Structure 1
Amino acid sequence: MVDARPHVTLPYSYCYGRSELGLSYIRLADLLSNRVQTDANKPAFVSEYENISKTYGELNDDVNRLAKGLIDLGLNRGDVVGLWSCNSYYWSQIQYACARLGLIQCSINPAYQADELNYVLRNAQVKALFMPGVGSKQQEFNKFGHGTTGKPKGAYLSHFTLGNLGICAFPMEMIVANYKYNVKLIVEAMNKHECTYLYGTPTMIIDILNYVETTGNTLPTLKGLVTGGSPVPKEMAYRVLKIIPNCTDVRVAYGATEAGSAGTISYQSDTLVNRLETVGHPLDHMETKIVDPGTGKTVLIGETGELLSRGHNQMIGYWRNEKSTQAAIDDKMWYKSGDLATMDEHGFIKIIGRTKELIIRGGENIYPREVEELLHKHPDILDAYVCGVPDVRLGEEVCAWIQLKDPNKKLTEAEIREFCKQRITYFKVPRYVLFVDSFPLTPAGKVKKFVMREQSCRILGLNEK
C-alpha cells in the first residue's frame, strides 16, 4: 500500500504528492458522458438569475445540440472559440460542447473593453465568439486569465490537466447566483438552495462574512469553504469559524492559471492551524520545491525562496508566446510561480509574497503579506493591501490601502502607524495610508497591485520614474 501522505526530501524544501490513485487519461466531454450514465437525473447546475435548473442528462442534451450548431457554423477540430462572459449556464454548456468537438475554448476576461477584447481575439485567432448575457494532451483551454500584471497571456491547458482536477469526478450541484458579483444575491441563493460548500477568493469571503455579520443572516447548511486566488489573511480564515460556526471544513488552496488553477491544498483531516495558516501541500502526483531565486538551488526546510511546481496540472505553454513560455517553464519542466514561500518538514507551504511585489526600502526587504496580515488584526479594518511606491532617498516606501468595517468610523493615518509601530520593525511601518471604499480587482476577485501602485503615485504626487 502506498503511503498517501506527501513525501518530503529532508532537509530540502521538496515535496511530492503521493497517491494510491492513478491519473485519468480522458477528455472532459467523456467525463460528462460517464457521469450521465450513472447520474442522469441528478441536479447538475442551477442559475438563479437565469431561472435555469438542469440535471446532468439535460446538460448533456444541451451540449449535444450546441455541438451540432457549432458544426453547422463550419468550425473544425483545433479552431478557437471565444467565450466573453460572466457567470452563466451557457458558459458550462459552451465549455463541454467545445471539448466534445475538439475545439479550443478561449476564456476571455468579461471586464475587457474594446481594445483589450480586440487584442485577445486577434492574438488567440478566435474563429467564433460567444457573448451570453452580453449585448491525453489534447488542447482544451486557451485561458486568458484574470492576471494582475500587464498584457494578458493565454495559458494553454489540456484535457489531461483539467480532467485530473476533479471536474465531474462526483455528482454535485453548481449554483450561480447572479451574472455579476453581488454579495446579497450570493447569500440569498446559498440559503435558498441549501449550499454546503463555497469556493471564493478572500475578497469575496470577507464580503460574505461582513454581510452575514451586519445583517444577521446565517448560512446554516454551509459545511465548508475553500479560498485562494490571492493571499488569505489568517484573521479572515479564523473569522469564518466565528461567524459561521457550522462551517468547520475551511481550507486555503494555492494555484495559478498556468498550473490548472490549483496546485496545493490541505486535507480535511489536517490540523486547524495547517488548514488555515498554510496553503497545504502538493496535490496528488504533483511536485513542489522552494528554490533560491538567484541560484535556482533548492533551499533548506524553513528557508524562503521561489515556489516551483511540476506535474499534470501544468499548462502546455502560453498561446503563441514562446518567449514567455520559456521564461515561465525551465528545461526540466518546472513552472516558476514568482511566489515567495516556505515549506516545513511535513510539506506544508506558506506563501510569503510575490517576488515582483517585494518592497526594498533602503536595502531592507519588506514582504507586503506580513504587513497586510498585521493590518487585518486591527478591530476596525475590514480589508487591507500593501504596495511599494517610489522614494527618492530610500528607493521605495510602504503604502497601505485600508477599507474600514464602518465607513463612518474616523481613523487617522497616525493611528494606523502607531498600531503598526507597536508590533513590527520600524522600516515595515507604512509611510503612506490611503483609506478606500474598494480595491482594483480582476473579475476573479484578485487585487491588482500594479494598479494600486499607479493610483497611489497619482494620489500622492509621486514620480514613478
Structure 2
Amino acid sequence: MTSSYASGVSSTPLLGDTIGANLARTVAAFADRDALVERASGRRWTYEQLADDVDAVALGLRDLGVVKGDRVGIWSPNCAEWVLVQYATAKLGAILVNINPAYRVHELEFVLNQAGIRTLVSAPAFKTSDYAAMIDGVGPKCAALRDVVLIGTPEWDALMAAGRADDPAVLTEIGRTLTADDPINIQYTSGTTGFPKGATLSHHNILNNGFFVGELCAYDEEDRVCVPVPFYHCFGMVMGNLAATSHGACVVIPAPAFDPKATLDAVAAERCTSLYGVPTMFIAVLNEPSLDDLDLSSLRTGIMAGSPCPVEVMKQVIERLGMSEVAICYGMTETSPVSTQTRAGDSLDRRVSTVGRVQPHLEIKVIDPETGVTVPRGTPGEFCTRGYSVMLGYWDEPDKTAEAIDAARWMHTGDLAVMDDDGYVSITGRIKDMVIRGGENIYPREIEEFLYTHPDIVDAQVIGVPDEKYGEELMAWVRLREGVPGLTAEALRTFCEGRLAHFKIPRYVHVVDEFPMTVTGKIRKVQMRAEAVDILALGDA
C-alpha cells in the first residue's frame, strides 16, 4: 500500500540568490518594463526606476544607522512604499518585521518589543486607525526603538533625499556580506491563545517560494499581477511581489485595502493577466455590479488561497472572470508559505476538492498525529512538510520552534489532510476544528460544501459548540442571498435530511451579514465559537 508521502521533483534548480541580487538580475534584463503600478496615486515604476528608489530607501535607512540584522518594522496598508521598504531592507540585510494593519496599541507594543524593532516605517493613519498617535503612546515603552518614519511626510522625503545623495556602490559592498540563508523577514502568526509568534524567514525561504509559485503560474515579463491581498502577509509580499519580480512581471496595487470595484477597475485598466484573492474576495468581486461592463479578457490565471473554494465560486471565476488557469495554493506563514499548488491543466474537480500537489523541491507527508507514522494514501492525518521553505524558527522562542518543527526538520502544520493515489492533497480541517459529537469525528469542511448547494445560501461556516449530551453539537453560520428573509434550523434540517448523515446535520443556524475575519480574509472560527456560546446561552455546557 502506497504511503502518504510525496516529493517535488523539478528540473529547475533552486535559486541561491539573495533578494537584492535576484532583483538586480531582473532589472538588468527588463529595465524599461513596468515593475510596479499604484492605482490610488497613479504612480508607476519601470524596473530601472524601482531599483533606483529601492536603493534610495536602503541608503536612507543606512543613514539612520540601520545595519545587517537590525529589525525594521513596516506598519501600513498596501502602498508602493511598502514594496520599496521590502526590497530595501533585503539589500541591507536588515530584517523586515511585518505588522498587521489591524493591530491596536497593546499588539503594536508587543511586536515592537518582542522583535526588538529599531526603526519603524509607518503610514500616519488608515481608516479609523491613527497610527502616529498609537506609536507616540507606546514609543517610550519600547527600548529598542530609535527612529520612526511616517510615509508621505517630510520625514519620508528626507529619508529618500539622504539616500539619493549617497553612493549606491555602498550597497554592492554590503551585498557581498549577505548570504541567502540570512534571516530577512519576521511575520507574526495569530495564535488561538496568547500573543502571536514571529515566524522568521530567510532570503532562501521566501525568494524561492515566490519564484516557484510564479513558475507554476507560468509567469514571464508579459504578466501583470493584480495584488489586492495584504502585503503584510506572505500572500502579498511573497506570492505577489517576489513571484512577480523574480520573473520580470509587473505588480499592480489596486487599492490600499481590498475593494471589489477598485480591484476589477485595476484589472481592466492595467490589462492584468493574474488576480489574487481568498474565496471571500472572489465572491465579492463576482457580486460587484460593474463586473459585466468591464473588459477582463486579459485575465488568464491567478491564485485563490486562504480557505477552501466552493465549487460554484470556482466555476464563476473560470467562466465570468476568464481565469482558466487559476491555481489553488495551500500553506502557512511558517513555510514561506506555499507547500502545495494545483497546476494549470488540473480539472475543475481537482481545483475545488484538493489543494494540488507538492511544490517543486519540497517533501510532504500525512501522518497519524498520535504515533507520527506516515499513513496509507486515502487515510486522514496531520499534514507535514519539509524542505527549503520551512522557517528558521520562531523569533527568540526556541521552545515553541521545537514544538512545531521536529528533529528531522518536518514542519507539523496542525492541519488534517488526505493524500490521494495521484499525490493530490485535500485539507479537511484543523485538528483543533474537528468536531467530536457523541464519539463521531465530524469535519466541518464536508458540511460547508454541502450547504453551498442550498439555493438561498451564499456562504456557510460550520463550527462545534458545547453540548451536555453529545459533548459537541454542530452550528452553521450562514450568509443568505439578498432579499431572502431568513432561514430556520428546522428548514435547514429538512433540506439536509436524507442527504447528510443525521449526526452531520447542524442543530443550530445563525444568519449573519458577514463572518468575523482576520485582515487576510481568513474566517476566525475561534471567535465564532466564543460568540456562539453567548448567542446560544451555552455557558453551563
Same fold (TM over 0.5): yes
Give the superposition deviation at 1:192: 1.3
The 8 Å contact of residues 250 and 276 in structure 1, kept in 2 or not, is answered as no
In the alignment, structure 1 residue 142 sits paired with structure 2 residue 186: yes
In the alignment, structure 1 residue 207 sits paired with structure 2 residue 251: no
- Residues 422 and 192 of structure 1: is their aligned pair in 2 closer, same or farther, counting only changes over 3 Å? farther
The 8 Å contact of residues 308 and 334 in structure 1, kept in 2 or not, is answered as yes
Identity %: 40
The 8 Å contact of residues 23 and 246 in structure 2, kept in 1 or not, is answered as no
Q: How does 1:162-173 map to 2 (within 5 A)?
A: 162-165=206-209, 166=211, 167=242, 168-173=245-250
Structure 1: distance between partners of 2:517 and 2:310: 17
The 8 Å contact of residues 480 and 486 in structure 2, kept in 1 or not, is answered as no
Secondary structure at the counterpart of residue 211 of structure 1: coil
- Residues 214 and 404 of structure 1: is their aligned pair in 2 closer, same or farther, counting only changes over 3 Å? farther
Task: Give a deviation string over 1:211-247, Cα, whole Å, max 9, x none.
Answer: 2588665633221221111222233222323433x32
Q: How does 1:356-375 map to 2 (within 5 A)?
A: 356-375=432-451
| Normalised TM-score (structure 1) | 0.94
Q: Determine which of 54, 60, 84 is the counterpart of 1:69.
A: 60
Specify the alignment match of 1:442 in structure 2: 518
The 8 Å contact of residues 268 and 294 in structure 2, kept in 1 or not, is answered as no
The 8 Å contact of residues 11 and 301 in structure 1, kept in 2 or not, is answered as yes
One-letter amino acid matched to 2:55: N
Task: Give structure 1 stretches of 5+ with no counterpart.
Answer: 1-9
Secondary structure at the counterpart of residue 164 of structure 1: helix
Task: Give structure 2 stretches of 5+ with no counterpart.
Answer: 126-130, 132-179, 212-241
Structure 1: distance between partners of 2:294 and 2:526: 36
Secondary structure at the counterpart of residue 302 of structure 2: strand
Secondary structure at the counterpart of residue 253 of structure 1: strand
One-letter amino acid matched to 1:221: S
Task: Give a deviation string over 1:386-437, Cα, whole Å, max 9, x none.
Answer: 1111112211111111111215443333222222223211111111111111
In the alignment, structure 1 residue 283 sits paired with structure 2 residue 359: yes
Q: Determine which of 159, 163, 173 is the counterpart of 2:203.
A: 159
Specify the alignment match of 1:37 in structure 2: 28
Specify the alignment match of 2:431 in structure 1: 355
The 8 Å contact of residues 83 and 105 in structure 1, kept in 2 or not, is answered as yes
Q: How does 1:49-64 map to 2 (within 5 A)?
A: 49-64=40-55
Secondary structure at the counterpart of residue 308 of structure 1: strand
Specify the alignment match of 1:266 in structure 2: 342
- Residues 343 and 310 of structure 1: is their aligned pair in 2 closer, same or farther, counting only changes over 3 Å? same
Deviates more, 1:329-338 or 1:191-200: 191-200
Specify the alignment match of 2:305 in structure 1: 228
Secondary structure at the counterpart of residue 294 of structure 1: coil
| Normalised TM-score (structure 2) | 0.81
Structure 2: distance between partners of 1:426 and 1:339: 26
Structure 1: distance between partners of 2:291 and 2:469: 44
Structure 2: distance between partners of 1:307 and 1:24: 26
Give the superposition deviation at 1:139: 0.6
Give the superposition deviation at 1:56: 1.0
One-letter amino acid matched to 1:227: M
Q: Determine which of 403, 409, 417 is the counterpart of 2:479.
A: 403
Secondary structure at the counterpart of residue 428 of structure 2: strand
Give the superposition deviation at 1:74: 1.1
Specify the alignment match of 1:46 in structure 2: 37
The 8 Å contact of residues 40 and 254 in structure 2, kept in 1 or not, is answered as yes
Q: Determine which of 412, 426, 437 is the counterpart of 2:502.
A: 426
Deviates more, 1:176-185 or 1:139-148: 139-148
Q: Determine which of 401, 405, 421 is the counterpart of 1:345.
A: 421
Give the superposition deviation at 1:323: 1.6
Give the superposition deviation at 1:464: 7.3
The 8 Å contact of residues 415 and 427 in structure 2, kept in 1 or not, is answered as yes
- Residues 57 and 147 of structure 1: is their aligned pair in 2 closer, same or farther, counting only changes over 3 Å? farther
Secondary structure at the counterpart of residue 331 of structure 2: coil
Specify the alignment match of 1:85 in structure 2: 76
Structure 2: distance between partners of 1:113 and 1:226: 30
Structure 2: distance between partners of 1:397 and 1:258: 32
Deviates more, 1:273-282 or 1:11-20: 273-282
- Residues 425 and 33 of structure 1: is their aligned pair in 2 closer, same or farther, counting only changes over 3 Å? same
Give the superposition deviation at 1:358: 0.5
Task: Give a deviation string over 1:58-102, Cα, whole Å, max 9, x none.
Answer: 111111111111111111211100111111111110011100001
One-letter amino acid matched to 2:427: I
Structure 1: distance between partners of 2:484 and 2:116: 50
Q: Determine which of 485, 490, 493 is the counterpart of 1:414.
A: 490
Structure 1: distance between partners of 2:287 and 2:518: 20
Structure 2: distance between partners of 1:220 and 1:417: 42
Count the aligned residue pairs: 455
Give the superposition deviation at 1:339: 0.7
One-letter amino acid matched to 1:156: T
- Residues 374 and 253 of structure 1: is their aligned pair in 2 closer, same or farther, counting only changes over 3 Å? same
Specify the alignment match of 2:141 in structure 1: none
Q: Determine which of 123, 133, 156 is the counterpart of 1:132.
A: 123
Secondary structure at the counterpart of residue 521 of structure 2: coil
